[in-house]
Amino acid sequence: MKNIKHHISHLLSDHSGNFAVTLALTAVPLLMLTGAGVDLGRAYYVRGHVSEALDAATLAVASSSDTSTDALKTRFETMFAANYHLTTMAPYTEPTMTIKDNLVSSTVSVTLPMTVMSTVMPTLTITVKSEVNKQTSGVELVMALDTTGSMSSNNKIVELKAAAHNLITTIFGSETTSTGATVGIVPFTDTVNIGSHNTTYISDPSVYDWGKDSSGHALGWGGCVMAPNSTHDQDDAFTSTNGKWLPYYWPSSSSNLWSTASKSTTPSNSPCKKKSDPRCVYPTVTTYNINSSQGPNEGCVGQAITPLTNNRITLDNAIDALTPNGSTHINVGMAWAWYTISPSFPFSEGQAYDSPKVKKYVVLMTDGENTFQTFSAYGNLSDGKLGTTNQTTAISTLDSRLTTICNNMKAQGITIFTVALEVTSQTSKDILSNCATPPGRYFTATSSDLKSVFSSIGGQISKVRLAK
């Protein structure tokens, strides 16, 4: 160390002409290297932006049903121009596009003026190419997102929203209305809200006494569902006449006392002198105490399913509305993720399973394991809807049904990604790992790296769409 310091000190204190010449000779390469670094950074930035714009334009052509060459060319050029925003910094030549054997190939070049390096290299030409297989240009993606009460801890719901937004950005790019992708969102707890307007998807909710609010107005079904008394929580056999789920309805009980029936103290018939008079009828009067913490819809997920859509604003708003509450039935969330991406009833936005132009994906994210703590899509534990009144056995049944759903979905060609967010149970980790489509589609995550995990998933999906 002393020798190094001595040599440096000697060099800096050397006033001989030899040091001046050495410094002059090394200064120019150093400055050029520094300048090259600046211009190289600018070049990488431009190349990334050009690539995104060209991929978006190429995907737009690949996902189009138009057969006119002129129309497709116009679509291609319009989409590129709409997504490329660096024309002042690096103007581009007219991009080219060809279609052969269902492969859409495109090329574009941009010219980037150099700054520090301009004396050596006035401009740099950046050429980017993209290829998309027209047969697999479309994407259908459903995110089944755990919004149970535990998601309120450790900033998990905040990180989930950021990660989900990030995945939307990866899939949509700079588009607000995607030309080749549709996305759905299924928030789940121990039930799922399918939307209170979707009364045709369930058995008639009018048979229930839904009570009245504090102003005396009759209340109705909140949109959540209870599992059918069948295997239709494990398959895609939901039809308008078979397999309908039941409207979620938590009866008034000691654990959720919202309705009380009592004899009126006022007779309904007249003349009536006293209670013993046979002409006196004292009717039964039902009183309701329904509020934010009790009632027939207590425990219902606040955010309804968002069916497949190519509208980014709709999806971003649905993500922002996610609110943690309730317990966990992962299999129920997956069942409705399947219905959402299915081409059959109740949702109709999904394309056929065997469509050559669409790949179907489901991303399942949960921060825990199946539980059976209170009233849920399977009623009370004491109801025995899972074939048992034993909690341990009931949870094991939920796990088994989740495994069955995952296997059945994969058999239909649906690719499944699973994310275990700070899950500690090895049993749950194994179930989620086996649920995912191999290889490399099962992730473990903490709150802080959830965004990067979702970005990785988005990148895998995007790569399938892009041939190069």
Find the CATH number of the domain harbouring 193.
3.40.50.410
Structural domain count of the chain: 2
Q: Are 122 and 152 in the same domain?
A: no
What's the Cα-to-Cα distance from 204 to each of 89, 119, 200, 247, 248, rounded to whole Å? 62, 78, 8, 8, 11
Q: Are 202 and 317 in the same domain?
A: yes
Which one of 110, 134, 158 terminates a domain?
134
Is residue 330's pLDDT more than 70?
yes
How far, in Å, CA of 450 to CA of 373, rounded? Answer: 27
Is residue 27's pLDDT more than 70?
no
- Average of per-residue pLDDT values in the chain: 86
Specify the pLDDT at position 60.
Answer: 82
Residue bearing the bigger pLDDT, 440 or 26: 440
How confident is residue 121, by pLDDT bands cut at 50, 70 and 90? confident
Q: Are 39 and 152 in the same domain?
A: no
How far, in Å, CA of 167 to CA of 136, rounded? Answer: 19
Specify the pLDDT at position 468.
Answer: 60
**Both tokens of residue 210?**
């839904």
CB-count exposure of residue 307 (10 Å: 0-12, 13-18, 19+): buried
What SS3 state is found at 449? helix
Which one of 103, 134, 165 terminates a domain?
134
Residue bearing the bigger pLDDT, 406 or 465: 406
What's the Cα-to-Cα distance from 209 to each of 102, 220, 381, rounded to whole Å? 58, 9, 22
Q: Kind and range of the H or E element at 105?
A: strand 103-113
Q: Are 99 and 195 in the same domain?
A: no
Residue bearing the bigger pLDDT, 165 or 29: 165
Q: Are 423 and 399 in the same domain?
A: yes
How far, in Å, CA of 448 to CA of 155, rounded? Answer: 9
Q: Are 181 and 85 in the same domain?
A: no
How far, in Å, CA of 49 to CA of 343, rounded? Answer: 35
Q: Are 175 and 235 in the same domain?
A: yes
How far, in Å, CA of 278 to CA of 95, rounded? Answer: 94
How confident is residue 413, by pLDDT bands cut at 50, 70 and 90? very high
CB-count exposure of residue 184 (10 Å: 0-12, 13-18, 19+): buried
Q: Are 119 and 233 in the same domain?
A: no
**Both tokens of residue 224?**
């959540």
Q: How many CB atoms lie within 10 A of CB 90?
A: 23
Phi-psi domain of 84 (left: phi exceeds 0; alpha: psi -120 through 50; beta: other): beta
Which one of 134, 150, 180 terminates a domain?
134
How far, in Å, CA of 149 to CA of 18, rounded? Answer: 74
The pLDDT of 403-419, averaged and rounded, is: 96
What SS3 state is found at 272? coil
Q: Is residue 287 part of a domain?
A: no
Q: Are 233 and 356 in the same domain?
A: yes
Q: Is residue 34 part of a domain?
A: yes
How far, in Å, CA of 165 to CA of 321, rounded? Answer: 12
Q: Are 357 and 441 in the same domain?
A: yes
Lowest mean pLDDT segment, chosen from 11-20, 137-146, 257-266, 267-276: 11-20
How far, in Å, CA of 265 to CA of 242, rounded? Answer: 47
Q: What percent of the chain has pLDDT over 70?
A: 88
Going by their DSSP bridges, the two strands 415-421 and 358-366 should be labelled as parallel
How far, in Å, CA of 262 to CA of 248, rounded? Answer: 26
Q: Tokens 């000190």 belong to which residue?
A: 9
Point out which residues pair with 259 in neighbouring strands: 288
How far, in Å, CA of 219 to CA of 199, rounded? Answer: 15
φ and ψ at residue 458, rounded to 5 degrees? -60, -40
Q: Is residue 257 part of a domain?
A: no
Point out which residues pair with 96 in neighbouring strands: 107
How far, in Å, CA of 75 to CA of 316, rounded? Answer: 26
Specify the pLDDT at position 35.
Answer: 54
**Both tokens of residue 51?**
């690539």
Q: Tokens 């801890």 belong to which residue?
A: 153
Q: Could you tell me how many residues make up the chain?
A: 468
pTM reported for the whole predicted model: 0.76
Domain with 417, as residue range(s), is: 138-209+223-248+301-465
Q: Are 28 and 114 in the same domain?
A: yes
Q: Are 318 and 333 in the same domain?
A: yes
Residue bearing the bigger pLDDT, 348 or 398: 398
The amino acid present at 16, given as its one-letter code, is S
Q: Is residue 259 part of a domain?
A: no
Q: How many CB atoms lie within 10 A of CB 54?
A: 24
Is residue 32's pLDDT more than 60?
no
The amino acid present at 213, given as its one-letter code, is D
